[in-house]
A and B are shown apart, each in its own frame.
With several copies, the nearest count.
Chain A
């Protein structure tokens, strides 16, 4: 992980999901955004960034690029990410939603072989308030502090940051791994990073229905995480999805649980792991304070 303000950052593609405002915010938050890549537009400027046709041109000009923020059309995400990997970029944050899952399978096979971190797709990225912003998280809801936020939502993540900030609890880092069914980095990886991060004193984990990522996280918290964790799961009142075909996980076929993928199941897992769970976003600050014994 290289999340220092010196690390060089690239944007690939300028779609609906990245606006002039996002670019300006990244710059304002200390991100060393060096260029954009948009084939056919090389030599132009976009949101005050120099634009190139190829990633390799950017590397030729600026040297090693640490992170790329991929905002191309969902059908071009695989190609853009493979281009980044071929140019030795080791951190890839995919903002675009709607990437076909089999493209993600192909990308993850390659990323694993090349030890490349993939965050997303359908992720607003990572923010370390006051230090770096990699993605589209709105920094205005954040303030420097000690709480790490880990989620797979977009706006719900900001909602929680806003509640914490309003309650006087700043954040050390906030990451959304992305809300698609198949995403790169896992809750487990980030729990470990937050557990090791000196600035982080407590972790808020934000879940939603689908898959079994929250359940895996709950088990991991019970086993390996020393810092206090508070959980919140949205969608506990939402009607459940139908059966394993739709939830699409092996766990649902082999040794399946009728509640697989539901918020109910996730809440039970947190409860079993003795992780305090907030009823609503506005209750989170209170539980965090209690957990941190502030």
Chain B
């Protein structure tokens, strides 16, 4: 979960990282009650590094200019997002600008400190020559931050002032369970004073549940920003959204991906692919396998582009015995919905066809009963549900059905 700049700066200020006096602007008229002195900079609070380039950052010297600039920024979409808030901040004269960050490196299984004596306009292609790093091998101690300062080529008092900021960033990183905390740029004034001019914070999704205040923030943000992007970007593949007609449900991320590959390689087009093995990292309340399957089926049924649901479960599942029950209920509710629709619209064939076809691949003795029960279910289209044990067979059947229903769809 990525924080907005004004949230990041609140955290920075609380932990003692130097930030400029600033004020949150919810509406252009808030600028009439500005408590900081002009000239100021107004910044659109969206998560996009391109923000400055497209006009989301403006310097203003008077209230009139500020209100005008604020109006235009509030109406400027950046990467499709309109800001809900602006940040008004004092202007700062810098002599130098640095990049510093703490990030979790999953390859070495340790946090690393990153630093560079150029602020990065995300010119990551040339970053490898200029970027310096220190692996925090054992429990953090300030000397790791000084090692970074030295590697960056700093000398004298700057070693201490920069390493003190890095030290505080590290404490924030651990205290809040972050994946990333970044200051870009860290401004250095002529007198050697340092200032976090802009910053990013990315909270690890799995740890949100143990931080009440972050969970509260997450709740607000999820409402605005429910994209599957956010989920995919968190680095696990529990939800993959594609745009085909075959939805895939599996119990295991690797298995879902293998199924997705098989569908594509056999000429099919996957739609949404979900791993139901465990709860989504963004799920706050406890879930069960049964409840995840129910929810997934319901969501998929409401997506009219999906024509086939390929379920691929294998091995042991807690509440596995309830799989046939959930599928049975799903089919039944689809039937009553279809009947309701038929009753309302005086009988139409259109709606029936929209019930997605089900291909259920169940492997393992746990599903011996479920296989029989599901095969016996009555469906709205009066076709039986295909139940198989072999994966390749299940994939082939899903593709066949997707093709055969394709013509009927529109």
Contact = CB atoms under 8 A, between A and B. Distances in A.
A and B touch in the complex (CB under 8 A): yes
A40 B159 contact: yes
Given A109-B138, A245-B202, A182 B106 contact: yes
Nearest to A82: B141
A241 B253 contact: no
Interface in B141-173: 141-143, 146-147, 150, 155-157, 159-160, 163, 173
A53 B149 CA distance: 10
Contacts of B180: 245, 248
B133 A54 contact: no
B315 A208 contact: no
Nearest to A22: B316
A221 B397 CA distance: 38
A109 B140 CA distance: 11
Contacts of B150: 42, 53-54, 57
B159 A56 contact: no
Contacts of A248: 103-106, 179-180, 235
B232 A247 contact: no
Contact of B254 (A21, A80, A154, A253): A154
Interface stretch (B34-42, B256-264, B329-337, B340-348): B256-264
Contact of A239 (B155, B242, B253): B242
Interface stretch (A155-163, A223-231, A285-293): A155-163
A181 interface: yes
Of A110, A155, A156, A247, most B-chain CB atoms within 10 Å: A155
How extensive is the interface on chain B, given as a class?
35 or more
B29 to A, nearest CB: 36
Contact of B128 (A43, A181, A254): A254
Interface stretch (A3-11, A93-101, A189-197, A269-277): A93-101
Interface string A15-52: 01101011000000000000000011111000000000
A245 B159 contact: no
Interface string A175-210: 000010110000000000000000000000010111
Contacts of A249: 105-108
A292 to B, nearest CB: 23
A100 B206 contact: yes
Nearest to B210: A75
Interface string B233-274: 111110010100000001111110110111011000000000
Nearest to B235: A246
Contacts of B210: 75, 100
Contact of A98 (B159, B253, B278, B316): B278
A235 B263 CA distance: 11
Given A16-B288, A153-B253, A241-B232, A159 B314 contact: yes
B128 A153 contact: no
Nearest to A96: B278
Interface in B165-219: 173-174, 177, 179-180, 202, 204, 206-207, 209-210
Interface of A: 16-17, 19, 21-22, 39-43, 53-57, 74-76, 78-80, 82-83, 86, 97-102, 104-105, 108-110, 122, 136-138, 140-141, 151-159, 162, 179, 181-182, 206, 208-212, 234-239, 241-251, 253-256, 279-282
Closest 4 CB pairs of A and B: A153-B254, A155-B252, A156-B254, A235-B257
23 contacts: A82-B141, A98-B279, A101-B106, A109-B139, A136-B316, A141-B315, A141-B363, A153-B252, A155-B255, A156-B257, A158-B314, A159-B363, A181-B106, A234-B258, A235-B257, A237-B264, A242-B232, A246-B235, A250-B105, A250-B135, A256-B124, A256-B128, A280-B392
